[in-house]
Amino acid sequence: MHTRGSIEAADSRDSSNTTDSTSSADSLESKKSSDSLGSAGSSHSTDSRNSTKSTGSKGSTDSRDSKDSTGSTDPADNRSPDFQVKELKPELADTFLEFMSGLDFGHEPHWDHCYCRYHHSDLPWEEWKERSSEENREEARKEIAAGRMKGYLVFAVEKSGSKCVGWCNANNAGEFARLKQETGAEIDSGQKFGSQKIGCIICFTIHPDYRRQGLSKLLLQEAVAGFRSEGYDAVLALPVNYDNPEMRYRGTVSMFREAGFKEIKKDGNMTVMRLDFC
């Protein structure tokens, strides 16, 4: 059974999302584009230089629920999971692909075949939508194996074991061919913006059972730390603000602002934000 792959932009504790965030400008955004975003909550400090980060983060539980669905009263059975972030490496390609395949994008069927490849492509929309799920899946596998598709996976560590519950696409800005159409000079088609090395964070996908536990912010924190440790000069984000929070897969202005990003450009409902390390 597939799990609904809808998007929920941010934690309900963040009341500024509906007013702070601004929404998209590219052709996919107008047709409601590729991946999904999960909820944002509290961040957790870890060392992004390690390919595996154990955060010790725990999700909230309702104090009224003293039993699980089986009627167990063992506190360990009701314990919220710990979360661990891992950098996407070739050995995790199958984990990434299985996670994306397991989501149900019935509310936006064209997302189902994306595998987070849309922003890496500069194909016109009419050509892109004709690509098959298998084509994009195998392209993602190939690019991960070559080290060109990058990002972070978050795992829930529970009594029954560890499983992937979220993803963040974070890479050199030059790897996102689609974004130059949106931002013009903000993103160069090469590896640097002018003389600077610029990263970009573009997609968040959180399993619906694990939203509102701070995982988007945790992934954002790890991505920023990773760019910093790799000698980047700055990181870009391009949040959009759809009325439907399930569409805010790029994050929200408020969530990036909390992480230190500054607004540098607005284009319709899209906001270009930047975090400088210098």
Closest CA to 211 of 1, 2, 6: 6
Answer yes or no: is pLDDT of 213 > 80. yes
Per the CB < 8 A criterion, the answer to whether 166 and 38 are in contact is yes
Average pLDDT over residues 215-227: 97
pLDDT digits (tens, 9 = 90+) for 94-138: 999 999 888 766 555 556 679 999 899 988 889 988 999 899 999
Phi, psi at 62, each rounded to 5°: -85, 120
Q: Which residue has the higher pLDDT, 103 or 265?
A: 265
Distance (Å, whole) CA 43 – CA 12: 15
Largest CA distance in the chain: 61
Distance (Å, whole) CA 87 – CA 155: 11
Distance (Å, whole) CA 189 – CA 247: 26
Distance (Å, whole) CA 92 – CA 111: 21
pLDDT digits (tens, 9 = 90+) for 149-201: 999 999 999 888 899 999 999 999 989 988 876 665 455 444 456 678 999 99
Q: SS3 for 171?
A: strand
Closest CA to 269 of 243, 236, 235: 243
Domain boundaries, the chain: 3-55+81-276
Distance (Å, whole) CA 22 – CA 90: 34
First to last CA, the chain: 47
Residue 260: Cβ within 10 Å count: 13
Phi/psi region, residue 71 (left: phi>0; alpha: psi -120 to 50; beta: rest), is left
Distance (Å, whole) CA 271 – CA 278: 22
pLDDT digits (tens, 9 = 90+) for 236-259: 999 988 777 677 788 899 999 999
CATH architecture of 3-55+81-276: 3-Layer(aba) Sandwich (3.40)
Distance (Å, whole) CA 216 – CA 210: 10
pLDDT digits (tens, 9 = 90+) for 44-80: 433 434 445 544 454 433 333 333 434 444 544 556 7
Joined tokens for residue 272: 């270009």
